[in-house]
Amino acid sequence: MTLDRNTATAPVAASAAAVEDAFKNDPTATLEGVQGKDVTKAAKALLKDSAKRGGGSIQMQDVVKIYPGATKRALDDFNLDIKPGEMVVLLGGSGCGKSTALRSLAGLEDIQGGRIMVGGQDVTGVPVNKREMAMVFQAYSLFPHMTALENVEFGLEVRGVSKEERRKVAMEQLELVGLADQAKKYTQQMSGGQQQRVALARALAIKPRVLLLDEPLSALDAKVRVQLRDQIRRIQLSTGTTTVFVTHDQEEALAVADRIGVMNKGKIEQIAAPQDLYQRPATEYVATFIGLTNRLPGASNGEEAVVFGQRLPLISGSAKGDSVAVLVRPENLALSLPDQNDSKVGERARVEVIHFLGSLVRVDTVITSGEFQRWNKGEQLKVTVQLPANELPAGLSSGDDVIVTPRPVAALAC
């Protein structure tokens, strides 16, 4: 958050507006980031109000969901605890229960066990329209015969807001999503990305305590996805709205989340800040779901492992044994040429494919030493190495011999 001193000590009224602007314009702004700094009373009051407006903490405690006729639980003692104003992303494979978790939270599904609290109140039996939540789905679900403005006004009209007031609020929301100039257009005349922004404006117009987004970007092309995802994050930070965002897309999750919950079989397997989840995955499922990882043969005492002759520290919870799989990220492997490698560690490999990714290079190799050729049920041991493009040995190409060596970075053994 970049709140400079001039802004922070400006006259009270101007300062409050400036703080609001800073939130609107700075995608990296956080409440904590500002609160710790030298801001005026009015700015603090505004922040407090913003936290209150977003307001809703969420607790889902031991929630069980069994669909009629189903034998398996779609949610199996599901637990989730979200702070007010936080953006949590639920990530996981198809059918793991992400939408069910969201729909149960919204009150769109009955649950068979557990309870759901919002802002400290038990809402388990509260009907969907009394939960003060808004949900945006993958399909835009707008009214095609209404203009963008009318669509956004709709939720307010249902809530009995006067015509004048709802027009004002709806225009503000369309401005927030960058569509003020399209207010009079029918939604069927708009692009997918524009329609999704109208859906978002409609959800935000009712000033929900909690915003629920179920794969809202999956129908859009890659470029619009990135733009809209960043816009959602900016708006979420500026309004302080507690948000749960469901996606399949790990890059999307890593880009917007305060915390990511990785789901598997109706449960959250691990929930943590993106960086922690990437660097210290608790399970193999989590490690393979976020980013690329190599499974390398090693020996472990639970605290350290030896992989290709190199000692590595292990993440707590790692398995022990003479023959374990150690999960090593591609960027935590070094690559050298055999005649330049005078250390005793590392394993000989052959380059299969070199992928140029701009500033990075990813090199797919296969281990050629006898000891590991039969590892992993007789399959070839393939190892992917990633390094900055300028560290790739000059002239390296497919079929060349190299030495692959793990770097001493904490890894998970399983």
Ligand X SMILES: Nc1ncnc2c1ncn2[C@@H]1O[C@H](COP(=O)(O)OP(=O)(O)OP(=O)(O)O)[C@@H](O)[C@H]1O
96 vs 325, which CB is nearer to ligand X? Answer: 96
Nearest to ligand X of 50, 100 (CB atom): 100
Q: Is 100 in the site for ligand X (CB under 6 A)?
A: yes
> Own/partner pairs for 65-73, CB < 8 Å, 24+ apart?
65/97, 65/100, 65/104, 65/109, 65/111, 65/112, 65/266, 66/112, 72/266, 73/266
97 binds, among ligand X, Mg ion, none (CB under 5 to 8 A by kind): ligand X
Contact residues for Mg ion, defined by CB under 5 A: 99
Q: How far is the CB of 407 from ligand X (least distance, A)?
A: 35
By beta-carbon proximity to ligand X, the closer residue of 67 and 143 is 67
Do 244 and 212 touch, CB atoms closer than 8 A?
yes
In the list Mg ion, ligand X, none, the entry touching 67 (Cβ below 5 to 8 angstroms by class) is ligand X
Residue 394 lies near ligand X (rule: CB under 6 A): no
Closest distance to Mg ion from the beta carbon of 76 (Å): 16
Question: Long-range contact list for 377-386, CB < 8 A, 24+ apart?
Answer: 381/296, 381/297, 382/352, 383/294, 383/296, 383/333, 383/349, 384/292, 384/294, 384/330, 384/333, 385/330, 385/333, 385/334, 385/335, 386/292, 386/329, 386/330, 386/331, 386/333, 386/360, 386/361, 386/362
Binding mask 216-255 for ligand X (x = CB under 6 A): --------------------------------x-------
Binder among 55, 97, 281, 346 for ligand X (CB under 6 A): 97
96 binds, options Mg ion, ligand X, none, Cβ within 5 to 8 A by partner type: ligand X
Residue 135 binds ligand X (CB under 6 A): no
Query: Which of 34, 47, 86, 98 is in the footprint of ligand X by CB under 6 A?
Result: 98
**Cβ contacts of residue 170 below 8 Å, gap of 6+?**
149, 152, 153, 156, 183, 201, 205
Report the residue number, 218 or 373, with the smaller CB distance to ligand X.
218
Q: Which is nearer to Mg ion, 99 or 147 (CB)?
A: 99
Question: Contact positions toward ligand X, by CB under 6 A?
Answer: 67, 70, 74, 92, 94-100, 248
